[in-house]
Chain A
Amino acid sequence: MFRFHATFRNLLLAPLLLAGRAVGKMPDMLMLENALGKVERYDPAIGTQVGTLISGPEFGTSPTGAAGAEPTEKVAFFEASIRPLLVGRCIECHGGKKQKGGLRLDSRAGWQAGGDTGKAIVLGKPHESLLIKAVRYADKDLQMPPKKALSPEEVALLSEWIQQGAVDPRNEVPAAAQPATDEWAAEFQKRLASWSLQPMQQPEPPGVADAAWNREPVDRFIRARLDAATLPPAPRADPEVLLRRLSFVLTGLPPSPELRSRFLTASQLDAAAALASLVDELLASPHYGEHFARHWMDVVRYTDTYGYEWDNPAKGSHEYRDYIIRAFNGDVGYDQFLREQIAGDLLARPRVDAALQVNESLIGPVFYHLGEHRHESSLSFNGVHQEMVNNKIDAFSKAFLATTVACARCHNHKLEAVSQRDYFALGAVFMTPRWTSRSVDAPGKNDAAIAKLKELRAAIRRELAARWKATSLQPSDWRKRLPAAAPALEDIAYPLVRLTAAEGGVEAAWKALVTEWSTARATRTKANEAYPVLADFSSPQLPAGWCMEGDGMTHGWVPEATPLVALEGDAVFTQLLPRGYHTHALSSKLPGALRMPPQHLVPGKFTSLQLAGGEFGGHLTMDENTFQNERVGFLNNVNPAWMSFGDIPMKNGVTRVTMDFVTASLNPNFPPRTGVAPGLAAADSGFDKRSWLSITGIVTHDAEGKPQDTLDAFATLYAGTVPKTVEEANTRLAAWLTGAVQRWCEDRTERGDGPVLDWLLTNRLLPNRFGSSLPRAASPGLLLNENIGNAAGDVARNFHGENNPINLAGGISGAGPTTLAQGEGTLPAFDFTTGFADGKRRATGQSPGNAQVFRDRKFDSQNPGPLILDTDDDGDFSDETAQTGFGMHGDAFLTFDLDKIRQDNSLAAGQALLLTGQAGVANFRPGQTLGASFENKSAVILVDGQVVQLFDFTDQAKDSPTVYHQFGRADKLLIPGGARFLTFAGLSGLGGQIGGAHLGFANMKLTAIPGDDSDGDGLPSAWETQYGLDPNDSGSVNPAHGAAGDPDHDGLTNARELAQGTKPNDADTDDDALNDGPEVALGSSPLKTDTDEDGLSDGDEVNGRHTNPLQPDSPLAALVAEYRRTEQSIAFPRTANSMDERIAARAGVHFNARGNVDSLGELVMPDFLQMFAGRNDVAKSTGSGRLELAESLLQPEHPLTSRVYVNRVWQWVFGTGLVATPDDFGRLGDKPSHPELFDWLAREFIREGWSTRKLVRRLVLSETFLQSSVVTAAARERDPGNRLRHHYPTRRLEAEGIRDALLAVSGRLDPTLYGRPIRPFRTVEDASKRLFSGPLDGEGRRSLYLQMSIMAPPAFLDAFDLPAPKMPSGKRNVTSVPSQSLVMLNDPFVRSLAGHWAARLVKTPHPTAAARITDMFVQAFARTPQPGELERWGAAFRDFASPTDTLNNEAAWTQLAHAIFNTQEFIHYR
């Protein structure tokens, strides 16, 4: 029997909440401590329940009535277990609506009064209580609930509750969710008469006299109304006008001149056919999907971030954006589109994009997650959560129903047939599923790679087993591995140390050990009985109700001592894993999540898990789905350790608290806001993270504590007789150790062998290398250790090196940091005038062999980007993260030879560079603050001996375990072209002494200021100069200096050398005795001496050994290389914040009387709006009912679904919908201008398979659409709003359209589809709020790819009526204000694109200015200029060009280009 007493003190989370201050100094330390398994206790006597809600006298009642009157834990028990049970099973018949048998169970007074047959409850005496009798079904005349008996567990809960005294905080008879008044019923009926709720009619298109208008039904409806009003339609627009209109309407981009000439030619042959084919071509363009996706993004309040104090990325938002684009481009039916967004996670057969390997359906529910997310928990702050739910209800009901359900939060809707109950019932639908991250990769995407990895792991294991079998261990082997300090009892080294140090004879020592061991084992075994096991993972099975996600978990179970194959370095295995789930067992790229059922459904007061994890693998706790909070903790331990999670008392209407154990990509709150994930750079959006998590045991228990190791590893050692001599003892020890190895080799590993084996492996007592070692730079002196790249949040460790941090030893003696101000001081230990003899870098003092440390990424002249410093010196520049860097104690410095760096990167001598990165301080241990010992710590950057940047950490370091100065955000450091030496220094302020703390520089990057190509041969001038080619000779003088030249005669032209990254003046760039040309031909790398990484250089293999340079030549090496290659080939997962309902039970939402969140009414269970009662099965669902909800909306006779959508499409095409208020079909909304047409279209749309493309095609090919923008005086007079559609309106481009048109016309548009959001350009960055700037022109990408930030949306777009974020907006404002003129006139973005366009224009050989102006008109306006216009623009050109009136006066053309951008015609179409 479970016991549910509980003091409900929350262990893990209390410190987080205590420190719930909103500054950037969140309790990293506490979280880390928690992550390491340290459990904080708080004294309940001083009121430390999490988020205690004790109202002040003036703030009304608390949700539990008088807090303090009832024992909190009992109230919590009631809230967690009893209230939902009563609501779910009893109150329907014994509540406000019905009082069967005269009994009410919806308040304390109710059951106290009892029913017709007497008191329902006898306090403390369940067996005497009628309630229990009834639910037990003991008496055949009294069996409740009548239809289906309660489960034994539920009966037990009720008994327990009565036993405890039936604590019931429900002092008042609750506000009924459905005010069952006659007035409302009557009013409701009346409101059902609203036009939009009436069945769709089946009108026949009327006939009209004009034959051209009598073909397409749309036209017949429109024309009939026009005829009736005796208003003529406008004439058909000219082909040029139509071309531009269609191009913008369908793709949001201007037509290309090429398309224009094709269309105009075709039009002359057959206008109708040309038009149809143009429409089809535009509809087939991928830009159609982009443009329509942006429309839909308005409707669903799309943003890329969650706001609002720290602009956290919204996980998977851009996946959803791309999903929408693909849906429109693939013409996915609106029925499926709607179904997926409402219930995509529930579809029996999800829609999978086979080419992209994406589970499209699962992305749909990102819809819900959009909008602002809080960072706090409802258990701390009531009210925010309800605001978020409101946003979901608002978005859903406006987007799909054009109904304003959110108005009914505080009372029945004032105007519509929506009751307040409807609001909460819909809220319950949305709150039932778990809101969490899902892996949206297609199922089975990685199966082949995973199967291969498993095979390879087995093969590698066999290879190594063959070697280990021969292992013989001698005392001398293990003695050198023994720790100096006394190890713990469970440490494998424990008997080894004890026996080595044994005094008084081996026999006695052995006996003592055996006694100690067996006593401890017995005690621990006994103690462990208090921890009933939920799972020990001896088989791959989760406890009932728990649920897993992601390939990392699905394929993560391993038996004892399964090897973890090393992914880099020359070791084969990293570790031998204990049995259990390890998401990284095959690859740390694979995502994994374990989801625990709601805590109150798990037996026991505590649930403890044996966890390990790193690289932002962690756990999170969510109350009532939370949406986002900061109850996250990141693991940072390799060996699994027990962590306890206590039951959290629920309040504020929270009915569920759930926990997820997740890798970074499946953590819906990752990345959290700045500072919560120690070691994660502020700018890191959390993409492409390796991350891992191990779970090796789950127990549940009532008492505080954790299970202990039962010392199984020693069982085989101590079995048998006691050895009498040292030799005997050694033999026994050796046998013990090798026994485990032998069993492993024979694949019959026993419990307890794992720790022995892992100890042997990690102490390097077992062979673990694969033959010839991989080429690896010499171990650097200052570069730290193996921990670099371990992103598990331990920044400090990354900066702490075993390898002699270098003491400046008086280098700056006397010049302490307090006096070393900017521009002052030098470092005399290094001569900045003469530099290095060998051109390599230097550290102070005893410079070790670290010349390789500071290699740079090869400069890619095609895509000049940052030169990322290989700070972890592994020769791989792709893995540089904020966690890689170099650290130093105080008073040390490192100097780099910039000339060498330029040289190594094919940069011009004197190339100016930009330095970015981070400087920071850290201590040995996370969580340890630095305090006073850190006074005067500074990190300094010097250029040629002059201090150019000084970071003083004195203040920050005191109370924060890790402090970063975000160097490189607001303050990029320009290193002038003439600079020769770059120095990083750490000052301790201790006068040359090495301080305890460390200074570090991480993620340092140099960016070359890109050079030009003066001779236009495609080879950058700087590159040419660097390699002795003439930058002013395109090859016309000396062919060797052009793109086709090959001055080093290696078989690669200069162009190919540039592309390959090889040197044009060095036949063998990588010095492996194989020239660049042959290497490229052979397929080996001209930049890598050993392409297959088998320890043999390419030249040696080809010319010496005649082996294959592409295949490793040792079987073990080959297997490991294959394993690593396979692992490398796995793509990082796509994940998105979606829904998971696999283990969710129906959840209710508390009714709030008058919308007051402190007034908890009854629990309202999932249901759909009463106006659709009888037409849906939402309430019958065993889950949220979302799928039933979606299906009910898709019934062909649903009065709203297709009308609402068809109206949106009409608006997208015509500018104004048939109903002008697309989000509101209610009383305050517009009425349809053409009701018959509207219903005809809505039905036709369904008949045509809900096809948006067919609908759009029909509309844009109608005569109605093809009208010109000309308005007659009569029409203007009698129908100024164009309700009758007597012309096509002149329309301003939307914000995105303006920016996209600028990019397209200027030639800067990068038409790439999809991808991660691009940061918008900002004038100021703020790392603490994650507001970073991107390039001015957004990389030339279309506007919908710019990051839509809640806190600060892209400024350019914002100027042109970008809809407000967070809320659904079906229709945009169009305003015209002077600030827009200022943007177009002066914004550097607009001006730079004018320059870009002009540069392109002058390269086109136009014979005259008029010809060029004509071309500009064609490009910008899709028409040729009138003679008057040619004259006007020609005159302007002459004015701007004067006095140097040449056709190639680029400045003048820039002015003209800029003027064209500023015309109204440019931003309008008609």
Chain B
Amino acid sequence: MKHCTCPGTVAPVFTRRGFLQQASAGFGMLALNGLFSSGAGATPHFPAKAKNVIFCFMDGGPSHVDTFDYKPMLKKHEGQPLDPKWLGRRTQGEGRRVWLGSPWEFRQRGQSGLWVSELFPHLAKVADHLCVVRSMVGEIPLHGQSNLLLHTGRVLGQAPSIGAWVSYGLGTENKNLPGYVVLNNDWVPNGGLENFGSSYLPASHQATMMRAKGTPVNNIVPGDATAAQRRKLDLLAGQNAAFAAQSSDAQAIEAAITNYETAFLMQSTVPDIADISHEPEHIRQLYGLDSADEHQRLYATQALRARRLVEAGVRFVEITCPSFDGNNSPWDQHGELRENHAKNARITDQSVAALITDLHQRGLLDETIVFWAGEMGRTPHTPAVNEGAGRDHHVSGYSIFMAGGGFKGGTAFGETDEYGANAIVDPLNVHDIHATILHQMGLDHERLTFRHGGRDARLTDVHAHVVKPLLA
């Protein structure tokens, strides 16, 4: 486990001028005045395959052996105690543990024959779009650390989220919208809002939070009637222009004046995008908005909004899972796996599949990466097999998937052992996934850097390689 990155001795000595030049060339331009860039302002390192990411964050850790990683041995040896050699620091649980078979049947799906359990009937139908990695390895099997690792590439965070990096690297295509939006219903995941933060990157790259119920975004509803607000803005324009003339940095003041105009427009743009009431009924049904389950409707709303946001040019959209029982991480089923994993699946499965289908039918899937991942998997073992059995934290081998955006559909990459305990073939870590996603966005993870703490920091720290076999 390597922890630290530092610039190589060959790193060019940065000068202020050099920095400014680099900044004006694209990267870091936002750092200067934090304006949302126009689409033309930011240039990728090389031609991009994908323009947007929709990250379906499965907070709490969905069980890999109940979803994408089929392990018949678990059923066969269910209830049998396991040798302590199967335990270790990347899996939770000590003492007597027994194997726990999946309560769900697995079948091969689509033309690709990808294994998907019956937990995800809808995702099963789009199996040929899914690029599943079954050999993910994390660091520490705890939520806070793993969430931060997944988002920021560091177990203790203190670094920008991947969404912030994408926003920093590419800007947004729509100046009335931010580059990074989290559809999260006021949920603070383990690890805190830092998961969505910009850390040492300028605050303009931190996520804008959008909730499903009520006012979609804080302060987006005008406090004044339009005419009154317009009057106020006109008043301000005159006043601020005079101030700019007296200021040593008129540009910054003028930028702020522009921001007011942008904000004015956002007040209508953002609610418009958030408003899915005009979506045709078949689309609403596709996403599951007609569900009887309130949480599913919540998730469906966010999924549909995610599509609308990427259509409108938002680079990175993240959807968090609603917690249906007040649990502090929705997929965290230490007990009642059968019942509550099914609930989580019911809430999310249809909408995620719908998103893939919908993007595909609109021709957007090629340029949009749908990234589905929890911060960990779950143990193939448990203290005792019973009706309420659950699975604990597990990062020594778990599954995630990408769809679209140039990822190879119908793929099952990497393998765990016969029990799903440890990744044994082609283990990957979060950094590899980050690097590969950035790569598809036209960004070289080694060149997307920001000077911080005595080094040129990057999302992937000192790690990562682009995983070419995942790409079409």
Q: Which residues of A contact B (CB under 8 A)?
A: 14, 17-18, 20-25, 42, 46-48, 50-59, 307-311, 372, 374, 376, 381-384, 386-388, 390-391, 394, 398, 404, 406-407, 409-411, 413-416, 959, 1154-1158, 1220, 1223-1224, 1226-1230, 1269-1271, 1281-1282, 1287-1290, 1292, 1323-1324, 1326, 1328-1329, 1331, 1349-1353, 1355, 1358-1361, 1364-1367, 1369, 1373-1383, 1385-1388, 1391, 1429, 1432-1433, 1436, 1439-1440, 1455, 1458-1459, 1462-1465, 1468, 1470
Closest Cβ of chain B: how far from A884's Cβ, in Å? 25
Q: Interface segment, B183-191, B297-305, B403-411?
A: B183-191
Tell me the complex Cα distance, A394–B8, Å: 20
Q: Interface segment, B40-48, B255-263, B308-316, B362-370?
A: B255-263
Closest Cβ of chain A: how far from B258's Cβ, in Å? 9
**Are B2 and A58 in contact, CB atoms less than 8 angstroms apart?**
no
Q: Can you list 12 residue pairs at the A/B interface with Cβ under 8 Å?
A: A47-B87, A52-B87, A56-B85, A58-B396, A59-B422, A1353-B193, A1366-B194, A1375-B203, A1376-B255, A1377-B259, A1382-B267, A1462-B236
**Are B454 and A1364 in contact, CB atoms less than 8 angstroms apart?**
no
**Are A1376 and B453 in contact, CB atoms less than 8 angstroms apart?**
no
**Are B9 and A415 in contact, CB atoms less than 8 angstroms apart?**
yes
Chain A residues whose C-beta falls within 8 Å of the C-beta of B259 in the assembled complex: 1376-1378, 1380-1381
Chain B residues whose C-beta falls within 8 Å of the C-beta of A55 in the assembled complex: 88-89
**Are B4 and A1458 in contact, CB atoms less than 8 angstroms apart?**
no
Chain A residues whose C-beta falls within 8 Å of the C-beta of B31 in the assembled complex: 1373, 1375
Residue with the highest number of chain B CB atoms closer than 10 Å, among A42, A372, A1373, A1375: A1375
Task: Please tell me which one of the listed residues B7, B84, B247, B255 contacts residue A54 in the complex, with CB atoms under 8 A apart.
Answer: B84
Closest Cβ of chain A: how far from B2's Cβ, in Å? 5
Closest Cβ of chain A: how far from B60's Cβ, in Å? 9
Chain A residues whose C-beta falls within 8 Å of the C-beta of B453 in the assembled complex: 394, 398, 404, 406-407, 1223-1224, 1367
Closest Cβ of chain A: how far from B29's Cβ, in Å? 12
**Are B7 and A1350 in contact, CB atoms less than 8 angstroms apart?**
no
B35 at the A interface (CB under 8 A): yes
Tell me the complex Cα distance, A21–B427, Å: 25
Tell me the complex Cα distance, A290–B83, Å: 59
Q: Interface segment, B215-223, B284-292, B439-447?
A: B215-223
Chain A residues whose C-beta falls within 8 Å of the C-beta of B334 in the assembled complex: 21, 23, 25
> Given contacts A59-B396, A1331-B188, are A1386 and B219 in contact (CB under 8 A)?
yes
Task: Please tell me which one of the listed residues A59, A398, A1328 contacts residue B326 in the complex, with CB atoms under 8 A apart.
Answer: A1328
Closest Cβ of chain B: how far from A167's Cβ, in Å? 20
B80 at the A interface (CB under 8 A): no
> Given contacts A56-B396, A1377-B36, are A410 and B84 in contact (CB under 8 A)?
no
Return the 4 tightest CB-CB contacts between A and B, nearest first. A404-B454, A1375-B34, A1351-B192, A1381-B263
> Given contacts A23-B334, A1429-B239, are A1376 and B35 in contact (CB under 8 A)?
yes
B141 at the A interface (CB under 8 A): yes
**Are B422 and A24 in contact, CB atoms less than 8 angstroms apart?**
no
Task: Please tell me which one of the listed residues B1, B190, B192 contacts residue A383 in the complex, with CB atoms under 8 A apart.
Answer: B1
Interface of A, secondary structure class, is loop
**Are B231 and A1290 in contact, CB atoms less than 8 angstroms apart?**
no
**Are A1352 and B228 in contact, CB atoms less than 8 angstroms apart?**
no
**Are A1470 and B252 in contact, CB atoms less than 8 angstroms apart?**
no
**Are A1440 and B228 in contact, CB atoms less than 8 angstroms apart?**
yes
B108 at the A interface (CB under 8 A): no
B157 at the A interface (CB under 8 A): yes
Tell me the complex Cα distance, A1377–B171, Å: 13
Tell me the complex Cα distance, A288–B81, Å: 66
> Given contacts A415-B9, A1436-B235, are A58 and B219 in contact (CB under 8 A)?
no
**Are B328 and A372 in contact, CB atoms less than 8 angstroms apart?**
no
Chain A residues whose C-beta falls within 8 Å of the C-beta of B472 in the assembled complex: none
**Are B4 and A22 in contact, CB atoms less than 8 angstroms apart?**
no
Closest Cβ of chain A: how far from B393's Cβ, in Å? 7
Tell me the complex Cα distance, A1374–B244, Å: 17
**Are B328 and A1433 in contact, CB atoms less than 8 angstroms apart?**
no
> Given contacts A23-B327, A1351-B192, are A46 and B34 in contact (CB under 8 A)?
no
Tell me the complex Cα distance, A1385–B264, Å: 9
Closest Cβ of chain B: how far from A1155's Cβ, in Å? 4
B143 at the A interface (CB under 8 A): yes
**Are B255 and A1459 in contact, CB atoms less than 8 angstroms apart?**
no
**Are A56 and B86 in contact, CB atoms less than 8 angstroms apart?**
yes
A52 to B, closest residue via Cβ: B94
A1325 to B, closest residue via Cβ: B186
Tell me the complex Cα distance, A1352–B158, Å: 14
Additional pairs, 19, CB under 8 Å, beyond known A58-B427, A1351-B191, A1455-B232:
A18-B95, A48-B94, A307-B191, A309-B328, A381-B142, A384-B155, A406-B453, A409-B4, A1157-B1, A1326-B188, A1351-B193, A1366-B158, A1369-B200, A1378-B266, A1379-B219, A1382-B266, A1385-B260, A1385-B263, A1432-B235
Tell me the complex Cα distance, A1360–B34, Å: 11
Interface string of B403-434 (1 = CB under 8 A from A): 00000000000000000011110010000000
**Are B34 and A384 in contact, CB atoms less than 8 angstroms apart?**
no
Tell me the complex Cα distance, A1464–B253, Å: 7
B421 to A, closest residue via Cβ: A56
**Are B95 and A58 in contact, CB atoms less than 8 angstroms apart?**
no
**Are B236 and A308 in contact, CB atoms less than 8 angstroms apart?**
no
**Are A22 and B89 in contact, CB atoms less than 8 angstroms apart?**
no
Tell me the complex Cα distance, A407–B224, Å: 51
Interface string of B56-85 (1 = CB under 8 A from A): 000000000000000000000000010011
B145 to A, closest residue via Cβ: A384
**Are A1464 and B240 in contact, CB atoms less than 8 angstroms apart?**
yes
> Given contacts A1376-B256, A1378-B262, A1455-B228, are A414 and B94 in contact (CB under 8 A)?
no
Chain B residues whose C-beta falls within 8 Å of the C-beta of A22 in the assembled complex: 142-143, 190, 328-329, 332, 393
A652 to B, closest residue via Cβ: B89
Interface string of B1-21 (1 = CB under 8 A from A): 111101111010110100000
Tell me the complex Cα distance, A1383–B208, Å: 13
Chain B residues whose C-beta falls within 8 Å of the C-beta of A47 in the assembled complex: 84, 87, 94-96
Chain A residues whose C-beta falls within 8 Å of the C-beta of B89 in the assembled complex: 53, 55, 59, 381-383
**Are B193 and A1464 in contact, CB atoms less than 8 angstroms apart?**
no
Tell me the complex Cα distance, A496–B286, Å: 80
Chain A residues whose C-beta falls within 8 Å of the C-beta of B361 in the assembled complex: none
Interface string of B237-278 (1 = CB under 8 A from A): 011101110111100110111011011001100000000000
A386 to B, closest residue via Cβ: B3
Task: Please tell me which one of the listed residues A20, A414, A1352, A1378 contacts residue B6 in the complex, with CB atoms under 8 A apart.
Answer: A414
**Are B9 and A59 in contact, CB atoms less than 8 angstroms apart?**
no
Task: Please tell me which one of the listed residues A404, A1352, A1382, A1463 contacts residue B192 in the complex, with CB atoms under 8 A apart.
Answer: A1352
Tell me the complex Cα distance, A1381–B267, Å: 11
Residue with the highest number of chain B CB atoms closer than 10 Å, among A1376, A1439, A1463: A1376
B26 at the A interface (CB under 8 A): no
Chain A residues whose C-beta falls within 8 Å of the C-beta of B231 in the assembled complex: 1436, 1439-1440
**Are B142 and A1432 in contact, CB atoms less than 8 angstroms apart?**
no
**Are A1156 and B454 in contact, CB atoms less than 8 angstroms apart?**
no
**Are B90 and A56 in contact, CB atoms less than 8 angstroms apart?**
yes
Closest Cβ of chain B: how far from A1220's Cβ, in Å? 8
Residue with the highest number of chain A CB atoms closer than 10 Å, among B35, B139, B142, B155: B142
B33 at the A interface (CB under 8 A): yes
Chain B residues whose C-beta falls within 8 Å of the C-beta of A1361 in the assembled complex: 202-203
Interface string of B334-368 (1 = CB under 8 A from A): 11000000000000000000000000000000000
**Are B257 and A1464 in contact, CB atoms less than 8 angstroms apart?**
yes
**Are B236 and A1459 in contact, CB atoms less than 8 angstroms apart?**
yes
Chain A residues whose C-beta falls within 8 Å of the C-beta of B94 in the assembled complex: 17-18, 20, 47-48, 50-52
Tell me the complex Cα distance, A1367–B160, Å: 12
Closest Cβ of chain A: how far from B425's Cβ, in Å? 11
Task: Please tell me which one of the listed residues A308, A1377, A1383 contacts residue B35 in the complex, with CB atoms under 8 A apart.
Answer: A1377
Closest Cβ of chain B: how far from A390's Cβ, in Å? 7
Tell me the complex Cα distance, A1324–B191, Å: 17
Tell me the complex Cα distance, A394–B3, Å: 14
**Are A1290 and B451 in contact, CB atoms less than 8 angstroms apart?**
no
